[in-house]
């Protein structure tokens, strides 16, 4: 069965004299490399210049707040259940009356941790969440680090910054 | 000024220039490699990355100095130095330009005009392999030893063809003095036009002698880790790498001198003799040298490495017979002319 018309029939013929002295092939090859000298370079000068990321790129997680600035997550654990890499752990707690402005639901996540070394950035947590609380950002990636501990992201690094929401 | 002091100054200038060119060849090599592969190459250290060789040098100096426990200490230390010395020694007989006249003093722009200059070059070049051999042997490492043995056998094989290709040239020029060979090529009488085959053989052999790709089997990374300099670190490694670039510079100079008219170029030869002409001539020689250095790099980033048997086949079964044929043809033509 032929899937593409790229197939080329190769026969093993003895090399001709011109092929055996290599020179024509060498000259041709040098011509090719020389032409590349003047081609556009593919390099992206990273820190100054960034490659545009896809709209749907799945990068670092963020725990969203609602319009009033309260955390949306209700610690239902569905994201942890959905996670194929078992990267998410959390401890639930009951909301105190005076914390009403901080958490939207009556139950909230006291501890919420994602292990970025385990995470495969599949985005299933985002899809599982009934409260639209967790999202994978398309402009941020989990940064590199020397310590394993640094890859366990707690709420301090996951929850959307408060001030940003206000402005 | 006494001639000795002038000579000393001249020699140190040549020494400095060789080192400088070698230093920037490392940079040029990386740039050329990058550009041929659609990349940009080093561009962070200084404008256009021009300080990169300095950064590399500093890095090499600060690397740990390591001598393997079972290595032969003295030979191990000697290897790189020997390689470097022989690489630099060749430049002694290369004429860098016509005589420079300042007032009454005439300064020949050549280390020394030996009447066997060509033979001298051959002698020193074949000594060069000792540096590699000693270094590889003393490292007490099988990869190093294999690399060193390869270097030796490769050099011996290609020296033959190189010598034979030069014989045809010498038959034509009837002299072994580098200066005379250059002066015979003024105008368009470049030897390459009379000896194209000889030039081709010489060029291929020059690649083999300098251990450059496609004949870089002595340091072939894919099989031998680093070849003869596997065990070397710090500036001793730097010496080996550096000497390779000096070798490249010198062999470019030799090629330009023997086959491409050295410091001669048609439009300059017709000028009145004077300072300007001298400096333009030097410029012409260096332009040719830089072209050949570029050529060395260009070939390196185009051709894949030869296999060992292919290398030997090429040397013994192709180049040597070709060189002999070239001698015979040259002889017949010379006879007919007489
Ligand atoms: S992106 Fe995938 S792997 Fe990462 S935490 Fe979410 S569900 Fe788990
Ligand atoms: S992020 Fe969403 S799915 Fe995960 S615990 Fe919070 S509310 Fe439930």
Per-residue pLDDT of B254-278, as tens digits, reads: 888 888 877 877 777 677 777 777 8
Distance (Å) from the alpha carbon of A39 to chain B's nearest alpha carbon: 7
Which of B38, B298, B301 shows the shortest C-beta gap to A42?
B38
Residue A167 banded pLDDT, cuts 50, 70, 90: very low
Q: How far apart are CA A130 and CA A160, in angstroms?
A: 18
Residue of A23, A38, A30, A22 whose CA lies nearest to B302: A30
A119 lines ligand 1 (CB under 6 A): yes
Q: How far apart are CA B259 and CA B181, in angstroms?
A: 9
Mean pLDDT of chain B, nearest integer: 83
Per-residue pLDDT tens digits for B291-303: 999 998 888 888 8
A87 lines ligand 1 (CB under 6 A): yes
Q: Return the ligand number nearest the Cα of A153.
A: 1
Per mean pLDDT, which range of A15-19, A23-27, A51-55, B318-322 is the poorest? A15-19
Residue B284 banded pLDDT, cuts 50, 70, 90: confident
Q: What is the pLDDT of residue A117?
A: 92
Residue B264, Ramachandran bin (φ over 0: left; ψ between -120 and 50: alpha; else beta): beta
Residue of B89, B257, B130 whose CA lies nearest to B185: B257
Q: Taking 90 as the threshold, does the pLDDT of residue B111 lie above it?
A: no
ipTM of this predicted complex? 0.72
Distance (Å) from the alpha carbon of B208 to chain A's nearest alpha carbon: 16
Per-residue pLDDT tens digits for A31-60: 888 888 888 888 888 888 888 888 888 989
Q: Answer yes or no: do B36 and A29 touch at CB < 8 A.
A: no
A129 lines ligand 1 (CB under 6 A): no
Distance (Å) from the alpha carbon of A33 to chain B's nearest alpha carbon: 6
Q: What is the pLDDT of residue A86?
A: 92
Residue of B206, B217, B197, B190 whose CA lies nearest to B296: B206
Q: Taking 70 as the threshold, does the pLDDT of residue A163 lie above it?
A: no
Domains in chain A (CATH in brackets) are: 61-158 (3.30.70.3270)
Q: Which residue is it, tokens 């051959």?
A: B122
Residue of A131, A138, A97 whose CA lies nearest to A112: A131
Q: What is the pLDDT of residue B138?
A: 85
pTM of the model: 0.78
Q: How far apart are CA B29 and CA B258, in angstroms?
A: 24
Q: Answer yes or no: do A33 and B38 touch at CB < 8 A.
A: no
Q: Taking 80 as the threshold, does the pLDDT of residue B188 lie above it?
A: no
Q: Does B39 touch chain A (CB under 8 A)?
A: yes
Q: Which residue is it, tokens 């680093």?
A: B226
Q: Taking 90 as the threshold, does the pLDDT of residue B44 lie above it?
A: no
Q: Taking 80 as the threshold, does the pLDDT of residue B17 lie above it?
A: yes
The residues in B 55-84 lying below 8 A from A, measured between CB atoms, are none
Q: What is the pLDDT of residue A165?
A: 47
**Better-scored residue on pLDDT, B128 or A95:** A95
Per-residue pLDDT tens digits for A96-155: 888 888 888 889 999 999 999 999 999 999 999 998 999 998 888 888 889 998 999 998
User: A107: which strand partners?
Assistant: A94
Residue B233, Ramachandran bin (φ over 0: left; ψ between -120 and 50: alpha; else beta): beta
**Better-scored residue on pLDDT, B272 or A164:** B272
């Amino acid at each position: 069965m032929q899937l593409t018309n790229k197939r080329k029939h190769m026969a093993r013929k003895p090399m001709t004299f011109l092929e055996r002295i290599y020179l024509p092939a060498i000259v041709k090859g040098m011509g090719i490399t020389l032409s590349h000298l003047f081609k556009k370079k593919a390099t992206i000068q990273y820190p100054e210049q960034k490659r545009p990321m896809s709209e749907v790129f799945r990068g670092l997680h963020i725990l969203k707040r609602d319009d009033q600035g309260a955390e949306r997550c209700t610690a239902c654990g569905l994201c942890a259940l959905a996670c194929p890499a078992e990267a998410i752990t959390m401890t639930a707690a009951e909301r105190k009356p005076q914390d009403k402005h901080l958490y939207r639901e009556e139950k909230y996540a006291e501890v919420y941790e994602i292990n970025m070394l385990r995470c495969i950035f599949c985005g299933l947590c985002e899809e599982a969440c009934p409260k639209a609380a967790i999202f994978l950002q398309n402009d941020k990636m989990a940064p590199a680090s020397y310590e394993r501990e640094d890859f366990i992201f707690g709420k301090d690094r996951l929850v959307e910054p408060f001030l940003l929401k206000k402005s | 000024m006494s001639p000795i002091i002038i000579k000393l100054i001249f020699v140190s200038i040549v020494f400095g220039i060789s080192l400088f060119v070698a230093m920037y060849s490392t940079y040029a090599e990386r740039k050329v490699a990058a550009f041929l592969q659609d990349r940009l190459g080093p561009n962070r250290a200084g404008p256009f990355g021009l300080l990169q060789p300095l950064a590399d040098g500093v890095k090499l100096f600060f690397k740990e100095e390591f001598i393997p426990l079972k290595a032969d200490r003295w030979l191990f230390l000697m290897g790189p130095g020997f390689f470097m010395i022989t690489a630099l020694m060749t430049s002694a007989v290369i004429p860098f330009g016509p005589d420079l006249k300042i007032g009454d003093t005439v300064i020949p722009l050549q280390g020394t005009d030996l009447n066997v200059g060509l033979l001298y070059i051959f002698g020193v070049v074949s000594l060069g392999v000792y540096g590699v051999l000693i270094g590889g042997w003393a490292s007490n490492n099988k990869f190093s030893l294999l690399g060193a043995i390869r270097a030796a056998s490769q050099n011996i094989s290609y020296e033959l063809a190189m010598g034979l290709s030069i014989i045809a040239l010498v038959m034509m020029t009837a002299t072994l003095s580098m200066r005379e060979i250059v002066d015979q090529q003024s105008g368009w009488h470049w030897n390459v036009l009379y000896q194209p085959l000889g030039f081709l053989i010489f060029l291929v052999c020059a690649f083999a002698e300098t251990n450059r790709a496609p004949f870089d089997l002595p340091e072939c990374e894919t099989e031998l880790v680093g070849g003869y300099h596997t065990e070397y670190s710090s500036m001793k490694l730097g010496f080996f790498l550096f000497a390779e670039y000096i070798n490249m510079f010198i062999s470019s100079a030799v090629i330009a001198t023997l086959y491409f008219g050295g410091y001669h170029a048609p439009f300059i030869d017709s000028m009145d003799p004077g300072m300007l002409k001298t400096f333009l001539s030097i410029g012409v020689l260096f332009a040719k040298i830089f072209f050949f250095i570029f050529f060395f790099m260009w070939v390196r980033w185009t051709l894949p490495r030869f296999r060992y048997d292919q290398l030997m086949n090429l040397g013994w079964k192709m180049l040597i017979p070709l060189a002999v044929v070239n001698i015979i043809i040259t002889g017949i033509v010379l006879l007919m002319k007489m």
